[in-house]
Amino acid sequence: MPAHTLNASSAGARAADAHRHPAPWRAVLAASVGNALEYYDLLIYGYFAITIGKLFFPTGDAWSSLMFSVGTFGVSFIMRPLGSMVLGSYADRVGRKAALTWSILLMMLGTAMIAFAPTYASIGLWSPAIVIVARLLQGFSAGGEFGSATAFMIEHANGKRMGYNASWQAATQGLPHCWQRA
């Protein structure tokens, strides 16, 4: 085979490989933004815990309402291991990008459910039920996001700087704290 044919075919292979695995910084940026937004949601819920307690868990006692609100916050952590196993398995079978897409969509759904949930005064016990289901969805999502995003970042390191790429997963968990303070 002539040399120019080999060069053209190897250039085509490199272009196809580059298309399959975009620049590592793009993968890190995409996974980091998703991670930061998921943790931002946690902070927002904590920031509004008193208000959420009053609107969705009215008991006549501010302390009890706050405890129900905080308990609902904690319920999401129960679902994280399940989300990790289910979405992690899905990521292994279908792909990290697909798993991360589902993770973000589920987080958005849970967040929208809380944002648009009618208050206790409007629909009674259905209101806290909606908030609890939304927090369960968010916990499931967050559990699946962490491992899949870390693996996604490592896979896109192309054998170089895998630890550095993966470190952004933990580093971006602190970004929401900065946003909250701003």
Q: What is the pTM assigned to this prediction?
A: 0.79
Q: Rounded to an integer, what distance in angstroms lies between the CA atom of residue 109 and that of residue 139?
A: 12
CA-closest candidate to residue 114, choices 103, 102, 129, 130: 130
Tokens of 58: 């009215």
Query: Is the Cβ–Cβ distance between 50 and 67 less than 8 Å?
Result: no
For every one of its 182 residues, what pLDDT tens digit does the chain have, with 9 covering 90 and above? 454 444 444 444 444 555 555 577 787 887 878 778 777 888 888 889 999 999 999 998 999 999 999 999 999 999 999 999 999 999 999 999 899 999 999 999 999 999 999 999 999 999 999 999 999 999 999 999 888 888 888 888 877 888 888 888 888 877 776 766 65
CA distance 60 to 8: 75
Cα 112 to Cα 179: distance, rounded to the nearest angstrom: 20
Residues with Cβ < 8 Å from 118, sequence gap 6 or more?
A: 126, 127, 130
Q: For residue 11, what pLDDT is reported?
A: 46
DSSP 1-48: --HHHHHHHHHHHHHHHHHHS--HHHHHHHHHHHHHHHHHHHHHHHHT
Would you tell me the crossing angle of helices 96-116 and 126-155 to the nearest 10 degrees? 160
For position 37, what pLDDT does the model report? 78
Tokens of 130: 């909606």
What pLDDT does 128 receive? Answer: 96
